[in-house]
Amino acid sequence: MTSTAPGATTRRIFIDKQSPAAYDALVRTSEAVRKVAADAGLDRSLVELIDLRVSQLNGCAYCLHVHTRAALRTGETTQRLGVLAAWRDTDLFTPAERAALALAEATTAAADTAAQETAYAAAREVLTDDQISAAIWVAVTINAFNRVSILSRHPVRPER
């Protein structure tokens, strides 16, 4: 399969379809990470918030579409989803959620070591070692999926 985004001149291959074995390995990794997150006590809503925040930072329309729907299915509110990009400026997120979101942002902007240190210090105050590890793994895997979708230009089609 190929895709050409509006305004783009180069057709892209869907690398998930072109190299299914590699994509399947990524899916299996994601499934393992979701289990690690659940076992560590991170609820599915928080996992979806991490997926959404990282996808916002990366500008991945396809993953934003997928994970907004998934977050709503977990019971996440439209209010919290609407302000997620400015989570630091609200009181709508718990200390644990804030710590996980900061870790996710630091994972996504890996070159910013000062942000990593700040995020880690805050996370140490409210998250267990297992939860810190799980939050980082969630961010790592959604970053990988973002790259697959962005470079493939997976389309977001209007809902019916």
Q: Provide the residue range defining the domain that includes 135.
A: 31-152
**pLDDT averaged over every residue in the chain:** 95
CA distance 51 to 94: 17
CA distance 96 to 123: 7
- Under the banding of pLDDT at 50, 70 and 90, the label for residue 160 is confident
Residue 15 in any domain: the answer is: no
Residue 122 in any domain: the answer is: yes
**Any idea which residue has 């809503």 for tokens?**
45
At residue 155, the pLDDT reads: 95
CATH number, domain at 45?
1.20.1290.10
- Torsion angles phi and psi, residue 86, rounded to 5: -120, 35
Q: Provide the percentage of residues in the chain whose pLDDT is more than 70.
A: 94
Residue 98 in any domain: the answer is: yes
β partners of residue 2: 13
- Under the banding of pLDDT at 50, 70 and 90, the label for residue 159 is confident
Number of domains in the chain: 1
CA distance 68 to 141: 17
Residue 2 in any domain: the answer is: no
Here the tokens at position 115 are 């942000």
At residue 103, the pLDDT reads: 97
Res. 105: pLDDT tops 60: yes
- Under the banding of pLDDT at 50, 70 and 90, the label for residue 10 is confident
Residue 136 in any domain: the answer is: yes
At residue 64, the pLDDT reads: 98
- Under the banding of pLDDT at 50, 70 and 90, the label for residue 1 is low
Residue 120 in any domain: the answer is: yes
Nearest CA to 121 out of 102, 97, 144, 148 is that of 102
Residue 10 in any domain: the answer is: no
Q: What is the mean pLDDT of residues 110-114?
A: 91
At residue 4, the pLDDT reads: 56
At residue 55, the pLDDT reads: 98
pLDDT in tens, 66-88: 999 999 999 999 999 999 999 99
Residue 7 in any domain: the answer is: no
